[in-house]
């Protein structure tokens, strides 16, 4: 969903593509969805848009065996982590053994504020 990946999201084009039947959960060759890809751009507005249009918040990619929350934790994206948790992301889900869990991405990446947040805000 390239219409949403850049600093100036093209909301009209995104709406049109979805209306024409594009699956918001389509994946690329590495199993990444649009939701995975917008994490790196810190696009909380796009997370909201994709979630509101049915994006699978816990879809696991094949590259890192991680959910979008795992991606946020891996790259130290605290605000994206908060947004994804607010939208209902599973903080413990991964597609592999425990090494791909969001908390371990945060800890192994030395993202202390993020790992503290994940540990402190457990349900």
Q: How far is CA 73 from the centre of its chain?
A: 9
Query: What SS3 class is residue 99?
Result: helix
- For 34-73, how does the pLDDT look when each residue is reduced to its tens digit (9 = 90+)? 999 899 888 899 899 999 999 999 999 988 999 999 999 9
CATH of the domain at 109: 1.25.40.20
pLDDT over 70 at 98, yes or no: yes
Please give the Cα distance from 17 to 6 (Å, whole number): 16
* pLDDT value of position 123: 54
Q: What does the mean pLDDT of the chain come to?
A: 87
Count: domains in the chain? 1
Q: Find the domain containing 114 and state its range.
A: 2-120
């Amino acid at each position: 969903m390239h219409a949403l990946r850049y600093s100036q999201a093209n909301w009209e084009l995104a709406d049109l593509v979805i209306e024409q039947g594009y699956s918001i959960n389509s994946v690329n060759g590495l199993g990444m969805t649009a939701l995975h890809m917008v994490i790196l751009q810190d696009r909380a507005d796009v997370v909201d848009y994709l979630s509101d249009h049915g994006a699978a918040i816990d879809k696991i990619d094949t590259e890192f065996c991680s959910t979008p929350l795992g991606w946020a934790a891996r790259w130290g994206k605290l605000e994206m982590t908060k947004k994804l948790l607010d939208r209902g992301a599973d903080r413990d889900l991964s597609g592999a053994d425990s090494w791909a869990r969001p908390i371990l991405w945060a800890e192994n990446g030395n993202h202390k504020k993020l790992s503290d947040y994940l540990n402190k805000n457990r349900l």
